[in-house]
Structure 1
Amino acid sequence: MDVGSLLARVTPTLRTFKSWVVRDARFTLQEGTGAFTRLAPDFSSEGRSMALGFPFVLGVPTLPGYQGRYMESVWVLGSARVPGRGGVPLGLGLGMNTAPADPLTDTQPGLSSPGFVRVRMAPTHHGLEGSPYVLHLTASSSEGAGSGLIHRSLKVLPFDPTGTAPVEIRGPFLPVPEGARYSPVDDEGGRRLRPPAAPALPPGTVLRAVFSNGAGRRWVVWLDVSRDSQGVRLPMPPAPLEDRTFQGNHLGSFASLELQAWSLREGGLPDGEPLLLEALTRDENLSRLGELGVAWSALVATP
């Protein structure tokens, strides 16, 4: 799905959207209409909604690039974070970068200059009151690359439809892990996962490689780009386990590989101290990743 194209068509109607929050509700399913019978959630018994009544403007940092071109769109997801429960979406925004394709998003109607993106959100409501607001910015490329920023410093929702006092988002976007590679052949120097050549990713960045084989089974490998600048050698799996760096078919083709880069900071703030990979893996479930990440980037590739 081309998320940028979809949101571009949706943006003019955002003022008619509503936020719908129901705590721990179990929705029954009912048959829908159309050529194919389908089941859909039945919300008729629940009326807890609130309009996205707070329009405001973000100052978006310089957009990241991929394959020599700046990314074409930025979409914003505003949410409330509930500790131990996750995030609840409360609003949306979108900025395009096509006319021209340069480091800043295009000038939006009613705003004074490029680099500003209008967002509409609902306030926390129906049990979310007091939860902190979080803004997730995702710059995307049609070639399968993305880069995001996580802004946790929004204390209250401003009402600022014209952008007289835009919310400034701390950057920069994290570069896409372009140039990271895996050599799966088991010979001298083989089976080695290598990060992008310096200085593509800044210190304090961890690389997460996700191998997926034909049966949908995954193998996740983490490395610290500042410490493991030459990469890491991956062990052979013990018998009788399969080697998930291959698809598992009789042709011996390589598994698909998604590369993710994460910038982790103490307190989840851009000016916090960079965290080493060891600090993250002390929790065997990596449950603090969503709290400590301030920026990320991802690339779907093959070995």
Structure 2
Amino acid sequence: MTYNFLTIDRLPPALIANALAACLHVASSEVDVADADGNQDERNWDAQVLCDYSDAGGHVSQSLDIYIQDSVRHRPSEADLALAFSAATNTVTLYPAEEQIPSAYWLATPERLVTRVRLLPSDDETVSYSIDAAEAHIPQLPEVRTIQLPEIIREHPVPVPTASAFTSAVSSLAQPGGGAVTPRLPAELESAVDRARAYLSEWERLTRRMASGWQPTGRYPADMYHAALLSRDHLNQLASDLPEPIVGLLREALDQLDSEFRKLTQNDNGQEIAKVTGSSQFDLLKRDWWWRRRPIELPW
């Protein structure tokens, strides 16, 4: 099992070894720590825990690659080990997030604060890292700005079964052709259906994120919420343009999602949406009903 950590402080090998021993419940003699670019001849390759460290620059001073043998019984998650290691060394530790975004990292502090950060590496021969932003204030790095990180939310997978069912139902509206039954639509109509699927997926992702308590971070940018409301506007227009029976399938899907949206929001006559979008509340009162509702649990 391997762990990849970055630390904002440069830690002496003895401190790293003692901290890993305590965190992984092994003897200090069973932890081998060495400079990745140094002499490897005298290493204890049979140690239960092997750790290579390298120097870095910028907000990050050190990179740690940790490998534990199968014989180590205590095998914490990367998140749990990072928290324990931060406390044991009194430093800030970063580790990669699950999303396939190079800049997506978690950060743990000795005080057990855990937050998401955007980490940007340089193109220099010796890599220098910049913590561009974090979702919570980091006492050890007061200069780092605190903002929501929308790329985390955009990359987080959200199932859209209602939109998928709509797409499947439209595909099943087959037309005879060439002796076979194949799902074919005129090009213009197919383009409208594709737009309906995309807007419906966006509307469904919003409702499912609300229902989940705004996973994965508990936050949601107001501009993304605004974009979802615009998607609902587009769906309303498409519902008046599409022919039957496609429009019936779309309205059926919308009825399901709109019902869920109503359960998760409350009517405030557009006051909150006007505030976060810079719109006029008076103008919102003239728009469709979804513009006049705010999430019961505000995520911004």
TM-score range, shorter chain: under 0.3
Which one has a bigger Cα radius of gyration? 2
Q: TM-score, normalised by structure 2?
A: 0.21
Pick 1 or 2: higher relative contact order, CA cutoff 8 A, min separation 6.
1
Greater percentage in helix: 2
